[in-house]
């Protein structure tokens, strides 16, 4: 009887661990998908707008942690208005 209870406990514990790892794996997949979509949108916008990308811009925008935690470096700021209108 005690052996059966111990075995049942181990089965439940291993199932919980598997579910926990599955949740972590799915979160990683979602985060990677978000990062990939962001990179594709950034590159598409740059191509459509015919912007010359510099290395500092690529380093900044392709690193999600820098985008979230750091402000945009002063050298990368651009005027968002057109003077020829």
pLDDT digits (tens, 9 = 90+) for 70-80: 777 666 666 66
Strand, coil or helix: what is 77?
coil
pLDDT at 78: 63
At residue 15, the pLDDT reads: 55
**pLDDT digit string, tens, across residues 14-69:** 555 555 567 677 888 888 888 888 888 877 877 777 767 677 777 877 787 887 78
Nearest by Cα to 44 from 36, 56, 33, 54: 36
Q: What b/e string do you get for 33-72 counting C-beta neighbours within 10 Å, with b at 16 or more?
A: eeeeeeeeebeeeeeeeeeeeeeebeebbeeeeeeeeeee
Q: What is the DSSP letter of 76?
A: G
pLDDT of residue 83: 64
Its pTM stands at 0.39
């Amino acid at each position: 009887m005690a052996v059966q209870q111990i075995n049942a406990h181990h089965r439940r514990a291993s199932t919980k661990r598997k579910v926990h790892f599955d949740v972590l794996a799915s979160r990683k997949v979602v985060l990677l998908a978000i990062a990939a979509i962001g990179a594709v949108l950034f590159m598409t916008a740059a191509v459509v707008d015919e912007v010359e990308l510099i290395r500092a811009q690529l380093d900044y925008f392709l690193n999600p942690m820098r985008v979230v935690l750091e402000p945009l470096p002063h050298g990368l700021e651009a005027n968002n208005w057109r003077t020829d209108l």
